[in-house]
Structure 1
Amino acid sequence: MGRPLDDAGLDTIFRTARSYNGYTDAPVTQDDIRRIYELTKLAPTSVNQQSARFVWCTTPEAKETLASLASGSNPDKIRKAPATVIIGMDLGFHEHLDWLFPHAPGARDWFPEESRRDHALRNSSLQGAFLIVAARALGFDTGPMSGFDNAKVDEAFFSDQPGVKSNFICTLGHGDPSTIHDRLPRPEFERFNRVV
């Protein structure tokens, strides 16, 4: 059974954590990326399908390619971040279920083609959310975003894997507090919740 986090832990992950628009010059190393992934991969997914595919853009060339495919203020955010990760979704996730879900032989047959996109989107989104929590837990800040041309990102970064499609992207680093705005409203419990 898990133990509750103390207030400092809850602050780090939730209460004082923010989505950053800019970062300091502190790097995000290969070791940092691996540490984040080692936590991210523990996200719950349907039958452990692990449908997310991650591309970590850390070089100026990769960041520039990605920035050129983004819209609004996102290109500058990508260029200035130490790293930006593309969270993709593998529509062929079922092909890996023999080893990812070995106690149910034939699990790959549970996902007919017409249902795979929904499952891949849902579960890669869960993994992307865990990536944000993992990064925060390890002392990093994030800036998740849409606002990019999915088809062009797929062509640029997943052309060798035609079954993989981009879901969303997320900048990563040590946040610059001057780049965030006041926290936006969050609804009180009664507005969007019912206990039945």
Structure 2
Amino acid sequence: MTAAADDLIALDRAAQDLLFRAARTANAFTDEPVADEQVRAVHDLIRYGPTAMNGQPLRVLLLRSAEARARLLPYVSAGNRDKTATAPLTAVLAADVDWHDRLPELFPHRPGARDWFTGDPAGREAQARFNAALQIGYLLVGVRAAGLAAGPMAGFDAAGVEREFFPGGRHRVLLLMNIGRPAPDAWRERLPRLPYEEVVGTL
């Protein structure tokens, strides 16, 4: 980015690099723990991200104990298993498919808001997945803003993780995310990104 273009971004260059340019998916972490206070600070930062009807369907389950991690590992693909076993913290990121139950609380001035979704469970689940995915994007940036590194992973048996950790049936697991301080060998070579001209069109 040129110096002139850099001036068009409200964040200073260091913050831009921290959140985007220098940030990478981490594949190895130090053994420094991730404190509850750090996770709370990240949530306080990212909870203002937009979701449809302010539904906020993302649910985050933090796996800290060795026992919890041992329950997860059989469902994780071989390529993701070792780094998940040794990461300071692993978050299971799920969508609450009954998120509409909160609508009367969130929209007291719209007493029938929950009823808009009671007859369409497929549409309700699609809304939950889509909006939780939006929130996961904010979470990823929030983790970076805290000076931590994230290792999001889709290589796992989602149905198995749901049975193990969410037996009630109202959650759909979308992603696993390892979180911590990056080890010196955390990064793989950066893969290419599409240029502006291939991504953006104008009518």
Same-fold call, TM cutoff 0.5: yes
Equivalent residue, structure 2, for 1:86? 92
For 1:150, the aligned partner's letter is A
Unaligned runs of 5+ in 2: 1-8
Pick which of 13-22 and 33-42 moved more. 33-42
Q: Deviations over 1:40-87 (max 9, x none)?
A: 322210001011111001111112211221003111111111001011
Is residue 169 from structure 1 mapped to residue 176 from structure 2 by the alignment? yes
Is residue 48 from structure 1 mapped to residue 54 from structure 2 by the alignment? yes
Tell me the SS of whatever aligns to 2:62. Answer: strand
Structure 2 matches for 1:4-153, cutoff 5 A? 4-111=10-117, 112-153=120-161
Quickly say closer, same or farther: Cα 1:5–1:102, change in 2 above 3 A.
farther
d(CA) in 2 for partners of 1:29, 1:188:
38
d(CA) in 2 for partners of 1:146, 1:63:
16
TM-score when normalising by structure 1? 0.93
Question: Is the CA contact (8 Å cut-off) linking 1:49 and 1:101 kept in structure 2?
Answer: no
Q: 2:198 aligns with which of 187, 191, 195?
A: 191
TM-score when normalising by structure 2? 0.90
Question: Is the CA contact (8 Å cut-off) linking 1:97 and 1:108 kept in structure 2?
Answer: yes
Deviation, structure 1 residue 118: 0.9
Look at both structures and tell me which one has the larger radius of gyration over its CA atoms.
Answer: 2
Question: Is the CA contact (8 Å cut-off) linking 1:13 and 1:136 kept in structure 2?
Answer: yes
Deviation, structure 1 residue 191: 1.2
Identical positions, percent: 37
Tell me the SS of whatever aligns to 1:136. Answer: helix
Unaligned runs of 5+ in 1: none
Deviation, structure 1 residue 5: 0.9
Tell me the SS of whatever aligns to 1:88. Answer: strand
Q: How many residues align?
A: 193
Question: Is the CA contact (8 Å cut-off) linking 1:140 and 1:173 kept in structure 2?
Answer: yes
